[in-house]
Amino acid sequence: MKRAKTSKAWMKEHVNDFFVKQAKKEGYRSRAAYKLLEITEKDQILKPGLTVVDLGAAPGSWSQVASHKIGRGGKVIAVDILEMTSLPGVEFIQGDFREEYVIVELKKNLGNDQLDLVISDMSPNMSGIVISDQARSMYLAELALAFSMEQLNYGGNFLVKVFQGRDFDQFLFDMRAGFKNVIIRKPKASRDRSNELYLLGLGKK
């Protein structure tokens, strides 16, 4: 009974959410687009001509933003285990980015281009058990960081969603070890009750 009430409350909030309405109005696939839009407005991480990989891209709102910002001279490669409807100017690879065949396909798509930016808005399927959800979220962030350190060009940037809690300080330490500067962002489109933050690593060492 409690779960049903919670679900109804969430649905009511979702339907009335400003960013949900705005996303429908402007043609974005989810409200998450506005998180990336705000961050890139502040930190100028999406520029014309860049090569970008979007990890856990489905349904594709971050890839939409990235493709628009980098223009025809740039390249966006979206990766997700889930299916994703095609987007203009976005190459999509379906699979687990830890698997060798995905890396092979990624390098084929990159060609001679250097990877300038990795973005990751990945979240696990939430169970409602805070400690468990936080641990699984941090695991995804760690995988994205490892991918970035292996694939990014020197001087490249990395944006990732994390959740405050156990292991956050260690992850922040690891980010600072790999990048010249690390910035913490909490976009307006991130719901107040959520403990999600975005860490932006600038200048891979």
DSSP 127-176: -S-HHHHHHHHHHHHHHHHHHHHHHSPTT-EEEEEEESSTTHHHHHHHHH
Q: At what angle do helices 18-26 and 2-16 cross, to 10 degrees?
A: 50
CA distance 106 to 35: 25
- pTM, two decimal places: 0.89
80 assigned ligand-binding residue: yes
Break the chain into its structural domains and give their ranges: 31-204
Sequence-distant (6+) residues with CB within 8 A of 111 are none
Q: How large a percentage of the chain has pLDDT more than 70? A: 88
Which of the two residues, 202 and 22, has the higher pLDDT score?
202
Residue 75 annotated in active site:
no
Which of the two residues, 144 and 191, has the higher pLDDT score?
144
Classified as helix, coil or strand, 66 is helix
10 assigned ligand-binding residue: no
From the candidates 69, 75, 161, 204, give the one annotated as an active-site residue: 161
* pLDDT per residue as tens digits for the range 72-124: 999 999 999 999 999 999 999 999 998 999 999 999 999 989 999 999 999 86
Q: What is the pLDDT of residue 90?
A: 97
pLDDT for residue 2 is more than 50: no
CATH architecture of 31-204: 3-Layer(aba) Sandwich (3.40)
60 assigned ligand-binding residue: yes
* Position 15 confidence tier, pLDDT thresholds 50, 70, 90: very low
Which residue in the block uniquely carries the two structure tokens 């991480």?
45
Q: What is the pLDDT of residue 92?
A: 98
Calculate the average pLDDT of the chain: 89
